[in-house]
Amino acid sequence: MNFEFTPRLKELSARGRQFCDEVLVPLEQIADEHGELPMDRRDAVKDQVRAWGLAGINHSKEHGGLGLTMLEQTAIEEQLGRVTNGLWSCVWRPPVSLKFGTSQQIKDYLLPSCAGHRRGCFAITEEGAGSDPRQVKTTAVLKNGNWHLNGEKWFVTSYNASDFIIVHAHVDNDPDKPTLFLVDKPAQNLVHLRSPKFMHNFAFDHAELRFDDVTVPEDRMLGKVGQGFELTKDWFVETRLQIASHALGAAIRATELANDYATSRHQFGRAIRDFQGVEFMLADMAVEIFATKTMLYRIAWEIDNGLDRKQIHAHASALKLHSSEMAGRVIDKALQILGGRGYMRENPVERLYRDIRVDRIWEGTSEIQRVVVAGQIRKRGLAVFSDWM
């Protein structure tokens, strides 16, 4: 086993870190106070993403991306995770499902998305369909060469930064026919209901939308009828690794801040790190980070080395569960070490504390990840997690 970071990985990690510190961190408080990244800042950040060579980090060169391995992407994503307010999402990652499009769809959607000229958001969740997407009620019916979409979608992240939506709908109202559609904005009969406030102040909004007989040309169906889940499966693996990378970066930043503060803050005539109650918290935080980092990079390596797809899904679920819960524990301790200062909004640890909570909910809740892990143990045995396969 070779755990060494190659010069290439070191360079990508350093670039991600520098980009985060120089371009994104200065925007954190602006985004927090404004509720999201103000519109008049967005183009300048896009230009920076291109200038730093970070456009299309998750796609092949053939599709306009950087052609990075999963390990390489992870090295960058970990550093981006340090930033608060979800500003890591300024570095676009076009949905993986787009690569399964027709050559025309790749030309119209994927290539410009990798270049940062277009952006897509993803709409699966509905009022009655969260963890169980078979409950989706949005329908797609083909009439005279056009698909007609009807339904309502919730929590559509980055709607106000996007110019198209990938909509998950049931063809003919049949839950066995989950299918994806590319809907360009603006679309007639597409109603933006509202973008509610959330616990975090993210870079972009999370919208609620109504499709009131929105028509989509027949050739804007992505993949085939019934392929909705199949096309998003690999994307879920990728997003789970991204969440884990961001959770790790966030936990490391919070721990660095707490560690520095524990040295500089004096109470009762000594540095607070000299109280074992504080130093033991730092020890636990370091061990949590160490374990998560080892797990994350192992799974990124497994993806690059073609481990069996089912096993990768199982490992990605275990990783997402562990890393999101780890970040919650570690950042909570960091805030405790910072005392009252950690509770101030101007402190990044306070913002990380709010930001990280959603990682236990989106892209499959912690309970759903446990369902996946437990199902794998039952079907394929504990060795899926306990052995080298």
Note the residues at the interface with ligand FAD (CB under 6 A).
121-125, 130-131, 155-157, 198, 206, 358, 361-362, 365, 367-368, 371
- As given in the structure block, the two tokens for residue 30 are 């602006």
Per DSSP, the residues of 15-65 read HHHHHIIIIIGGGHHHHHHHSS--HHHHHHHHHHHHHTT-TTTTS-GGGTS
Residue 270 Cβ vs ligand FAD, minimum distance, rounded to whole Å: 42
By the 10 Å C-beta count (0-12 exposed, 13-18 middle, 19+ buried), 26 is classed as exposed
Contacts with 16 (C-beta within 8 Å, 6 or more apart), sequence order: 54, 75, 76, 77, 78, 79, 80
How far is C-alpha 374 from the chain's CA centre? Answer: 23
User: Of 95 and 116, which CB lies nearer to ligand FAD in the complex structure?
Assistant: 95
Residue 358 Cβ vs ligand FAD, minimum distance, rounded to whole Å: 5
- As given in the structure block, the two tokens for residue 247 are 């959770």
HSE-up of residue 105 (Cα within 13 Å, Cβ side): 23
Residue 93 Cβ vs ligand FAD, minimum distance, rounded to whole Å: 13
Residue 119 Cβ vs ligand FAD, minimum distance, rounded to whole Å: 12
The total number of residues written for the chain in this structure: 389
Reduced to 3 states (helix: H, G, I; strand: E, B; else coil), residue 138 is coil
User: Of 239 and 255, which CB lies nearer to ligand FAD in the complex structure?
Assistant: 239
Residue 364 Cβ vs ligand FAD, minimum distance, rounded to whole Å: 6
Give the nearest residue (CB) to ligand FAD: 130
User: Of 134 and 309, which CB lies nearer to ligand FAD in the complex structure?
Assistant: 134
Residue 130 Cβ vs ligand FAD, minimum distance, rounded to whole Å: 2
The string over 304-340, giving b where at least 16 C-beta atoms fall within 10 Å of a residue's C-beta and e elsewhere, is eeeeeeebbbbbbbbbbbbbbbbbbebbbbbbebbee
Residue 72 Cβ vs ligand FAD, minimum distance, rounded to whole Å: 25
User: Of 24 and 123, which CB lies nearer to ligand FAD in the complex structure?
Assistant: 123
User: Of 95 and 342, which CB lies nearer to ligand FAD in the complex structure?
Assistant: 95
User: Of 12 and 149, which CB lies nearer to ligand FAD in the complex structure?
Assistant: 149
User: Of 69 and 133, which CB lies nearer to ligand FAD in the complex structure?
Assistant: 133
In whole angstroms, give the CA distance from residue 235 to residue 74: 15
Ranges of H-type helices in the chain: 7-19, 28-34, 39-51, 70-80, 103-105, 111-115, 228-264, 276-304, 309-338, 348-356, 366-380, 383-386
User: Of 157 and 245, which CB lies nearer to ligand FAD in the complex structure?
Assistant: 157
Residue 122 Cβ vs ligand FAD, minimum distance, rounded to whole Å: 5
User: Of 339 and 375, which CB lies nearer to ligand FAD in the complex structure?
Assistant: 375
Residue 359 Cβ vs ligand FAD, minimum distance, rounded to whole Å: 10
- Residue 6 gets which letter from DSSP? P
In whole angstroms, give the CA distance from residue 203 to residue 87: 5
